[in-house]
Amino acid sequence: MGKFVAKIYKGKENFDDAFYIRKTVFMDEQGFFDEFDDIDSVALHAVVYDGDKPIGCGRVFLENGNAHLGRIAVLLEYRKMGIGRILMQALEDAARASFKFSHFELSAQKRAIGFYKSVGYEEIGEFYLDEGYPHITMIK
């Protein structure tokens, strides 16, 4: 394992790397079905690499005046190594450089709340189900 590097892509540019990670984590590992949508073509995507291997990804787009982060995923063997923090920083920096917005917002799986709190997000509202998994809105 080498130095981890995040790269930002617009829309479907170099989307194969993000596709691979999201399919592996959300569909194969977690059992989600509805992983890809039209937002992918307009969002900014961050992909973190270990050398030339894609190991984590996420996206950010403008929604209702907020920078909405989502589809944050890290391959299982790279978790607990700081990749999520690298992704969040890259996405937040890309949003600040590209959009005018009031705050960051995301939809967190219940099991990921602790991570998002550790990077400055706070819960708002109530839990809801997305494909059977409890989620909650978080903002920063």
Task: Please state whether the predicted TM-score (pTM) of the whole model is above 0.85.
Answer: yes
Determine, yes or no, domain membership for 124. Answer: no
Q: Give the DSSP letter of residue 128.
A: E
Residue 1: pLDDT above 80? no
User: Per-residue confidence at 128, pLDDT binned at 50, 70, 90?
Assistant: very high
Tokens of 110: 């219940």
DSSP states along 31-72? --S----GGGGTSEEEEEEETTEEEEEEEEEEETTEEEEEEE
Task: Give whole-number Cα distances, 83 to 14, 87, 95, 108, 132, in Å.
Answer: 19, 6, 18, 17, 26
Determine, yes or no, domain membership for 109. Answer: no
The number of folded domains in the chain is 1
Which long-range CB contacts under 8 A does 24-27 form with residues at least 24 apart? Answer: 24/73, 24/75, 25/73, 25/74, 25/75, 25/76, 26/71, 26/73
Could you list the residue range(s) of the whole structural domain that residue 94 is in?
A: 4-102
Give the gyration radius of the chain's Cα atoms: 14
* Three-state secondary-structure class, residue 106: strand
- pLDDT over 90 percentage in the chain: 86
CATH of the domain at 67: 3.40.630.30
Determine, yes or no, domain membership for 131. Answer: no
DSSP β-bridge partners for residue 49: 5, 54
Residues 84-105 have pLDDT tens digits of 999 999 999 999 999 999 999 9
